[in-house]
Amino acid sequence: MKQTTQNWLDLRHDKPSGIESLRAHFTGHAYDPHWHDSYLIGVTEQGVQQFHSRRQQHQSRPGTVFMLEPEELHDGDAINAQGFTYRMLYLSPQQVKQRLAPLTESGVQQHELGFAATLRDDKQLAYAVWHAFEALWHDHPEMIKDAALDRLFLQLGQHPLWRNRNYMIDKDVLLAQRARDWLIAHHTENPGLQTMAQALNIDRFRLSRLFQTHWGLPPHAWLVQWRLCQARRQLAAGCAPVNVAAELGFADQSHLGRWFKRACHLTPARYQLACTNLPDSD
């Protein structure tokens, strides 16, 4: 699934666990600001991987573990012509919760996983990520994959990663969450900002500023990211791209394809082939 001599990307999907593993190399600009609905845990293999998240610039070097939470906005660039290579695992919130619960005294019912730091220079954690990736990438026997994932989560469980959900939420945060929920509920209608503001009983200029402050993107850009996350999930389940486009409010299959390739560096059909082994219709 390599795309050019300079930039390439390969993705594999472990059917029993649903975990995606990705290995890629980029020179120059790699990704515009975007987010995923999964936890991302990876290791930089070669070069310097530069990206922004949490309003900071980060540089991940060979052997550095990088960790991103669901809906955490980030981008990606190389700092020189050498580029960078990395390997990464996509873990669903449900998988993380199930595997970490036995490793904590109080379980995870009252908590959500929050990474205290985006980067970690930790050889044991890097080793665990690397070998979990290898086990999934090469489709080792299930017992080996389970052991590798257990080692990874044991390492993750040893870090101060937890934050309590029972924190005070101010009115602006609640409004931003309501706005996000409203967008999701009306995603097929392609609503305008004025319609959204009227439904939420707020000035549209204030709504736009508040939304971008809280979610990092204006409403229309955030909605595109949400649609792309849903598209990945539906394509991985075997849904036809034309049906995915219609259900998620894209103008047509070509519209979905342009956004999907821009975000994922793969066409919807090639992504689906990597996940399902269905015939490639490209």
Pair (25, 148) in one structural domain? yes
What is the token pair recorded at 243? 């049906």
What's residue 147's pLDDT?
96
At position 13, the amino acid (one-letter code) is: H
170 near 146, Cβ under 8 Å? no
Does residue 198 sit in the same domain as residue 235?
yes
Tokens describing residue 166: 């029972």
CA 270 to chain CA centroid, Å, is 18
What CATH number did the domain enclosing 189 receive? 1.10.10.60
Last residue of a domain, one of 115, 136, 164: 164
Tokens of 55: 């309003």
Q: How high is the pLDDT of residue 160? A: 66
Task: Give me the pLDDT at residue 196, please.
Answer: 94
In the chain, which residues have pLDDT < 70? 1-5, 103-112, 159-169, 277-282
* Rounded Cα distance, 211 and 220, in Å: 10
- pLDDT value at position 135? 97
Final residue in a domain of this structure, among 130, 145, 164: 164
Q: Indicate the number of domains in the chain.
A: 2
What the block records as the tokens of 67 is: 């960790």
Radius of gyration, CA atoms only, the chain: 19
Task: Identify the pLDDT of residue 96.
Answer: 87
**How far, in Å, CA of 96 to CA of 203, rounded?**
39
According to the model, what pLDDT value does residue 2 have? 46
Supply angle C-alpha 209, 93, 227, rounded to 5. 50
Domain span at 48: 8-164
pTM value is 0.85
Taken as a whole, the chain contains a residue count of 282
